[in-house]
Structure 1
Amino acid sequence: MLPYARQSVDEEDIAAVVRVLNSDFLTTGPEVPAFEAAFAEYVGAPHAVACSSGTAGLHLACLALGLKPGDQVIVPTISFVATANCARYCGADVIFCDVDPDSGLATAETVREAMDRADRSKLKAVFVVHLTGAAVDLARISSVTQEAGVALIEDACHSLGTRYDIEPGRQGLVGDCALSDFTVFSFHPVKTITTGEGGMITTRDPEAAERLSRARNHGLIRTPEDWVETSMAFDPVDGEPNPWFYEQQDIGYNYRLTDIQAALGRSQLRKLPKLADRRRQLAEQYRRRSVSFGTNARLVSSAHNPDAVLHLMVALIDFETVGLTRREVMLRLKNRGIGSQVHYIPIHCQPYYREMSATPDLPGASRYYARCLSLPFYPDMTVDDVDTVCSALSDVLG
């Protein structure tokens, strides 16, 4: 069975984990800061803060922004529910924006349209999602958010290793935060690199990085210069800091990454160039073979981002014209040993959000969702596997 995605773990990764298991620290040890430093260097951001999941990273970014009840944020409706949920954790209201029907990506135009539906006095942030691994037009969207005076958060859980245009003739790497306040990554097993579960937030703001670090660890402060409860914090005789003392000045969470996970992440990060190249090779083979799909199916458009390190390989299928439902296509592929999935159900259609407030018709998202189907795509696939998938889909579609 070819699943739609799976992790790629080798003996070096296993050895890195075993090394930590044989060490003194399984958590709160040296592996996490080492992983953070290596990751920050790779993406070109001054600060990287590791956490327990991509969802935790999105929540921490919302906390660092100080989102609260009554605030509003804009979120593309084509994403996993976590992108919207993280704002709700803080009590903020979500305004959903539409996406391009052929890429699933938010655009400057769809963000502006959502802003027109928002209360500008309450709007605090815009989230963008680099869906499938292809980057949004960050330069144009950033100009919109800067003009509106709101923060920009990149949900980059799909797009580690992808480059984007900062300006004509100048590219950046997703995560460098050249045009955004925070970028959040996921290390779930099906992502480009994995820590089992885990996430990372990058930023250029040192104070924000400190807030992120505190919030992931119950809000605890261990630096004496920041303590306010001086009667308990310092020795009454010599005035030196008490070595056991810590202080909580705000609420926080247990969103830490373990040293076991960080060791796996460091090992995977060292192989990221190879993993990225392999994904590009497989994507190119899919593009070559997709001509066999006929006129009723094609791959998601990535013309503006041809060298993206894709996380998902999504086909857009006109199921109505083909005369098959999506479920029927998925079952027929499964019978041929090929897994598939749907990414994603528009979030504004979920009962929780539908009952919270009415969202107008978002035609781009509706069109994208009606046609999307994720095909097998992961580094351990072979070119022959891609040929098998494409041939099977062509046969199923007739």
Structure 2
Amino acid sequence: MRKAIPYGKQHISEADIAAVVATLQADFLTQGPTVAAFEAAFANYVGAKYAVAVANGTAALHLCALALNVNQQTRVITTPITFVASANCIRYCGGEIVFADVDPNTILLDTNLVRQMLESKPAGYYAGLIPVDFGGNPVNLQELRELADQHNLWIIEDACHAPGGFFYDSDGTKQMCGNGNFADLSIFSFHPVKHIATGEGGMITTNNEALYNKLLLYRTHGITKDPELMQENHGPWYMEMQELGYNYRIPDILCALGLSQLQRAEEGLTRRKAIARTYDQAFKDVAGLGVVQTEAAALGAADDTGHAYHLYIIRVQNRQGLYEHLRRHQIYAQVHYIPAHTMPYYRNLGYKPGDFPVAEKYYSECLSLPMYPTLTEEEQLFVIEKVKEFVFNGR
């Protein structure tokens, strides 16, 4: 009997298990040296100066909003095609989320629409942008940075789907997702279906030392033990709570797993790209079936290899039918994402279906096919066979 094929899946190796066991046998299960080691290795991987490991990607987003002083007067623009945490982090701090529609080819935040929104309001109306490297498709942050600078905005890059992803700037320089050259802060997730799995976990990267120090403070209850930062010092035991922070720490156990997984991150990324190319080749001439483009490809560039391929997304008119057809054959494709503005919570804030037609049309057609490094050639060919079977025969 053929085993089920999920859309995403973690890969835990013997080296991963050994790394976690070694940490379990060491002195620290949490707040120990493995956390700092993982942070340093990850910062080096994406090319950023600083990295802060946290409990999960949502905690990372919340800490970024706190560090940027988001409050009830803050308005921030983001995309409706994302996991809701990208928007919720602003609401946690009392700020207002303003959605902008997506580009119909790349499904990334539409820069032209964002420009129009900014130009239609007085200076200072908006405070920031949260672009999302959706599916691993890297946003051109240079273009957004220029726009943000014109309007005095900060940028949080949601790169949860894109560790190892990159784009080329106007000088032809390779710019890694999360390297801090254009975004003030970038965030990543280590959920099991992501490139690097720690069970739960997240990371924030930045090149801004002041923001980095804020993140460290907010991550641990707003408490510091640094004598140079304390207002008083009663002795070696003393600590000060200087801000209202949170317990968003990540244990050494999970960081040990993350460090081990990071060592083969490029291997996994190479395999993801190979899977994507096989899908591309199989579907390129199939009428009635579309594929979400990379931004580079949409602009006609020859090299679009910067896509990190967390997801491989196709578009088909009868999405419901294809979804059910695949499930009958134990292929568990998934839908990413239900537009955030159509969720009851955001409807209660005034949004409604019809507000962002490009995002809503995309949602009605999208389906994420199995994409993970341990997907076998045989399994992928079976997925392709069943997709084509439905598209050609309508069953």
Instruction: Classify the TM-score, shorter chain.
Output: over 0.9
- In the other structure, the counterpart of 1:340 is 333
Residue in 2 aligned with 1:313? Answer: 312
Q: Which of 252, 256, 261 is the matching residue for 2:249? A: 256
Give the Cα separation in 1 of the matches to 2:344 and 2:117. 20
Which one of 33, 39, 43 corresponds to residue 40 of structure 1? 43
For 1:295 and 1:197, locate their aligned partners in 2 and report how far apart those are by CA, in whole Å. Answer: 40
User: Structure 2: how far apart are the matches of 1:113 and 1:347?
Assistant: 21
Deviation by residue 1:137-183 (Cα, 9 ceiling, x = unmatched): 22211111111100011000000101112323111111111111011
Cα distance in 1 for residues equivalent to 2:11 and 2:121: 42
1:121 Cα deviation from its structure 2 partner: 2.5
Secondary structure, aligned partner of 2:169: strand
Deviation at residue 327 of structure 1 after TM alignment: 2.8
Please list, as runs of the form range in 1=range in 2, the aligned pairs for 1:157-176 lying within 5 A after superposition.
157-176=160-179
| Deviation sequence 1:332-390 (CA, Å, 0-9, x none) | 11111211111001111111111113467212212211111011110001222221111
Checking the alignment, whether the CA contact within 8 Å between 1:3 and 1:340 is kept in structure 2 is: yes
Q: How far did 1:301 drift?
A: 1.1
CA distance in 2, matches of 1:295, 1:285: 17
Contact 2:167 2:306 in 1 (8 A): no
- Whether the 8 Å contact between 2:138 and 2:306 is mirrored in structure 1 is no
122 and 251 in structure 1: CA distance in 2 versus 1, 3 angstrom threshold: farther
CA offset at residue 110 of structure 1? 2.5
Following superposition, the deviation at residue 120 of structure 1 comes to 4.2
Q: Report the Cα offset of residue 49 of structure 1.
A: 0.4
Deviates more, 1:351-360 or 1:255-264: 351-360
Counterparts in 2 of 1:368 and 1:108: CA distance versus 1, 3 Å: same
Given the alignment of the two structures, is residue 383 of structure 1 paired with residue 386 of structure 2, yes or no? no
Q: Secondary structure at the match of 1:356?
A: coil
Note the alpha carbon deviations across 1:172-215, whole angstroms, 9 max, x for none.
11111111101100000000111111000000011110100111
- The verdict on how the C-alpha distance between 1:51 and 1:244 changes in structure 2, with shifts beyond 3 A counting, is same
Alpha-carbon distance between aligned partners in 1 of 2:62 and 2:148, rounded to the nearest angstrom: 20
Q: For 1:298, which of 284, 290, 295 is the aligned residue?
A: 290
Which amino acid is 1:273 matched to? Answer: E
Q: Does 1:109 align with 2:103?
A: no
Q: Equivalent residue for 1:203?
A: 206
SS in 1 for 2:148: helix
1:244 CA displacement: 1.1
Structure 2 stretches lacking a partner, 5+ long: 299-303
**Distance (Å, rounded) in 2 between the aligned partners of 1:271 and 1:310:** 16
- Gap regions ≥5 residues in structure 1: 235-241, 320-325
Root mean square deviation, CA, Å: 1.4
CA contact (8 A) 1:108 1:137 kept: no
Alignment partner, residue 368 of structure 1: 362
CA distance in 1, matches of 2:267, 2:113: 35
Looking at structure 1, the residues matched to 306 and 63 of structure 2 have their Cα atoms a distance apart, in angstroms, of 30
1:300 maps to a residue whose letter is V
- 2:78 alignment partner in structure 1: 75
SS in 2 for 1:152: strand
CA contact (8 A) 1:32 1:259 kept: yes
Q: Which moved more, 1:114-123 or 1:347-356?
A: 114-123
Query: Would you say the 8 A contact 2:142–2:182 is kept in 1?
Result: yes
Q: Give the structure 1 partner of residue 273 of structure 2.
A: 280
| Aligned-residue offset at 1:107 | 2.7
Report the 3-state secondary structure (helix = DSSP H, G, I; strand = E; otherwise coil) of the residue aligned with 1:193.
Answer: coil
Q: 1:60 to 1:83 in 2, by over 3 A?
A: same
Equivalent position to 2:20, from 10, 17, 20: 17
Q: CA deviation at 1:269?
A: 0.5
Distance 1:222 1:386 in 2: 52
**Distance (whole Å) between structure 1 residues aligned to residue 73 and residue 387 of structure 2:** 47
Letter in 2 for 1:315: I
Match of 1:239 in 2: none
Structure 1: distance between partners of 2:103 and 2:174: 22
CA distance, structure 1, for counterparts of residue 26 and residue 172 of structure 2: 47
Distance 2:121 2:278 in 1: 43
**CA 329–258 in structure 1, closer or farther in 2 if over 3 Å, else same:** same
C-alpha contact (below 8 Å) 1:184/1:202 kept by paired residues: yes
Structure 1 residue 108, shift from structure 2 partner? 1.5
In structure 2, give the amino acid aligned to 1:197.
E
Determine if the alignment matches structure 1 residue 352 to structure 2 residue 345.
yes
Matched, 1:54 2:57: yes
Instruction: Give the SS at the match of 1:57.
Output: helix
Question: Is contact 2:82-2:132 (8 Å) kept?
Answer: yes
Shift of 1:116: 4.9
- The AA in structure 2 aligned to 1:313 is Y
The equivalent of 2:301 in structure 1 is none
Instruction: Give the letter for the 1:392 counterpart.
Output: K
Contact 2:48 2:180 in 1 (8 A): yes
Please name the residue that 1:192 is paired with.
Answer: 195
Secondary structure of residue in 2 paired with 1:208: helix
Q: Which amino acid aligns with 1:35?
A: F
8 Å CA contact retained: 2:342, 2:351? no
Moved more, 114-123 or 83-92: 114-123
In the aligned structure 1, how far is the partner of 2:156 from the partner of 2:200? 21
Tell whether the 8 Å contact from 2:164 to 2:308 is kept in structure 1 after alignment.
yes
| Structure 1 length-normalised TM | 0.93
